[in-house]
Structure 1
């Protein structure tokens, strides 16, 4: 046996009558579709149901699988008493999945349990499933993580492998709302990326086009304020290499949040739908192109951080570097991005070491391990990182914001021993005033305090 199908469903608390108090009638289409999806799961006659919830325990670099024999949850956080859901866990499945992950060195297991109560991302699907007679089917509850698209998909593959090993019929429930930015009066207001995101995701779900889900830009997902994509990706991984029947049953967003319901049934094998392999091959090709474009500055930054993360020691300066790296001194900033998002940035305003090469070596390590905004880079992240190196030019005093150009000049603001620096040509920084305000915030210089401004040009290597 193996994974036989699954559903993608939302988890709005208002869908339950004891919380909605009549408001749930505004999403009656979603409710009808939810019931149809639950009946589809019942028709699959699963031995185990996997529930993937964005609101279970979440770690940056680890997938938490809930341990134990049973679990329960209630609606008290929504000010409703006397309403609860109970479920039993498939401890055997959890154990086997954990062993498989451990054998592969994959970051998933039962460590780190913080709250055994069922979260609403699990509880709401369970309510619908139990109404269709599935109350005695054991579940496996799994949270999401801050890891890559590929890692979420791979976890789904491990779920499918576990199902085959145990000879169980397994159904997957991917619990997740879509955009929370569909309307001005919604929970997060309106953003144009919200409706666009919902259109792309519902279209992908309806067609079981999981490659399109995998290729959604993280920044775009964040702008749309979604919570379900990573759950959908784990489910997609569980269907890797399978021919699917797929139906988008409904889509609504009357409260400013997108609710989509989709059903998937496994029909057989299809090597053309091994999206994990296809995605990895595409990423490898893109990495080869990116590596080929890197100059000596960026290659040194990458080598430095990778050496430190893998060995715990600082890279010895290579002997084959260009003279410009060995015979010139300057301030250097090293920036790291992961999936288009900043992952670390540390630098020196003035030269602190013997040459630019040494500045790069040390600042690359600092960007990956000492930026206070982020946890240290782990080995599993190294292949995803994109580096840029900014070599700072001579600093010049500025008398007026009119002398600034956010695309050309970075700035340094100073006041009584505090300094804040902002590099040029940053996304989202469009005016000198914005540039100054952000630099003042970084320096901790308050409104009304006197400060001076300096500008500098950079040579950016990326």
Structure 2
């Protein structure tokens, strides 16, 4: 059963060492993320899963203890998903940022694993993956699962954005923020896959995994942050 969820953006710039002199620009987003992580910790889960967009190394699960780093961003900083032997392949950046956030909270001995989701995964397959996550617990038992869901909105909010300006971006991100803040599962599952790709939205598939996981859980949502620094839509929300 899904006990709680936190939704956070996944730019490596959230990590102050990566942002360096620009770290203060994301202080509000960083603080909101930690508030959302606090909701996860308060839910006392039996299992915690970080869900985020895959990178070029592919999608799939990452077992507890999997490691990643920010060396590709010029910083010799490593992270780990909880405790365990982990996977041979490194965490993608989205899950590495999630691991960094979780490292700033106390989850005790709760198993922490990851799931990297292909950007092109269809909505119904995302929802099915979410239902599977919510239905599994350590040892195959039923239990309380919490999700940390990483992903960004459109990267086309301004002319200086990574994808340049697209006038559809603000409206799309507004719908995303409204759905995440209200824990509106139907609205999340209805997000247009093609349009999300055109607008360079990295969070579409992870958010739809969340929607599947939350079916029948009766969770309410709370929007903690919404902005577009650097022309990219960032949303933070907590579900409990």
Task: Write the deviation string for residues 122-142 of structure 1: whole angstroms up to 9, x where unpaired.
Answer: 121222222112374322211
Give 2:80's aligned residue. 86
Give 1:178's aligned residue. 153
| Mapped partners of 2:17, 2:82: distance in 1 | 24
Give 1:228's aligned residue. 203
Displacement of 1:199 in angstroms is: 0.4
Displacement of 1:167 in angstroms is: 2.9
| Mapped partners of 2:81, 2:193: distance in 1 | 34
TM-score calculated relative to the size of structure 2: 0.91
Task: Write the deviation string for residues 47-87 of structure 1: whole angstroms up to 9, x where unpaired.
Answer: 2211112035776xxx62225x5221111000112x11123
State the superposition RMSD in angstroms.
2.2
| Mapped partners of 1:65, 1:16: distance in 2 | 23
Q: Does 1:52 align with 2:51?
A: yes
Task: Write the deviation string for residues 139-182 of structure 1: whole angstroms up to 9, x where unpaired.
Answer: 22112133321110011111122139513321011110111001
Give 1:147's aligned residue. 121
**Structure 2 vs 1, CA of residues 26 and 183 (structure 1 numbering), >3 Å: closer, same or farther?**
same
Give the secondary structure class of the aligned counterpart of 1:237.
helix
| Mapped partners of 2:27, 2:184: distance in 1 | 27
Give 1:125's aligned residue. 98
Give 1:416's aligned residue. none
Is the 8 Å Cα contact of residues 173 and 235 (structure 1) preserved in structure 2?
A: no
* Structure whose alpha-carbon radius of gyration is higher: 1
Task: Write the deviation string for residues 12-42 of structure 1: whole angstroms up to 9, x where unpaired.
Answer: 1112111111312122221110110111111
Is the 8 Å Cα contact of residues 52 and 150 (structure 2) preserved in structure 1?
A: yes
TM-score calculated relative to the size of structure 1: 0.49
**Structure 1: where are the runs of 5+ without partners?**
92-112, 266-462
Q: Does 1:66 align with 2:62?
A: yes
Aligned ranges for residues 247-266 of structure 1 at < 5 Å?
Answer: 247-265=222-240
How many residues get paired? 238
Runs of 4+ in structure 1 over 3 Å off: 56-59, 88-91
Moved more, 217-226 or 159-168: 159-168
Give the secondary structure class of the aligned counterpart of 1:133.
coil
Question: Which of structures 1 and 2 has the larger relative contact order (alpha carbons within 8 angstroms, sep 6+)?
Answer: 2
| Mapped partners of 2:188, 2:44: distance in 1 | 28
Give 2:183's aligned residue. 208
